[in-house]
Amino acid sequence: RSSDLKDHSLRVALLANYIYRVEILIPLAHRNREDFKTASQLLANLSMAIVYHDVGRTDNTANTEHGAAGYEKYRQDQGENKVIQFLTTFHCRSDKAAKDYWETSFDGRNAELIWKAFCILKDADALDRVRFGNLSRDYLDVNTLRTATAKSLVPVAHQLFRAKIR
């Protein structure tokens, strides 16, 4: 169970890191240096959120609270972080609930980047649903993916699952 969770988190981290680079960092690379630096720092928050996103799971059933439990573990280990709290807590909740929280909690230049990071986490987590097999009702629904890059990575997600990285 613990190694399954670690393998899942590693695959999600690899997928999210790639999507984030393609969707956010590469387009910013030749623009404003400060925006690129800010986006790079947000990638560190996204990566930490991925480490903790499923730590609060007690089983494999669908539930909306395991992300909050994962953030609580992060908070105990590392302290408060508003961005990691949002990403971790809401990765398993509806987009509407996440959007409502995001709209009241974030503003300014970084708000849009934080929302994009949230969408990337959701996409990377969803891509790893290929692990359930295409005959399972828990298998990836490509129509739920939010980014064009994620939609192109379905074959890669299959390969990562089969690769047994470690």
Say how many C-beta atoms besides its own lie within 10 A of residue 148's C-beta.
11
**20 pLDDT tier (thresholds 50, 70, 90):** very high
d(Cα 47, Cα 121) in Å, to the nearest integer?
Answer: 9
Alpha carbon distances (Å) from 66 to 1, 60, 77, 93, 115: 15, 10, 17, 10, 20
pLDDT for the residue 40: 95
CB contact at 8 A, 12 and 125: yes
Write the single-letter amino acid at 132. Answer: F
Q: Is the pLDDT of residue 1 over 70?
A: no
pLDDT tens readout for residues 77-95: 999 999 999 999 999 999 9
pLDDT for the residue 160: 94
Q: What percent of the chain has pLDDT over 90?
A: 72
Please list, in sequence order, all residues whose beta carbon lies within 8 angstroms of the beta carbon of residue 73, skipping any fewer than 6 positions away: 52, 55, 56
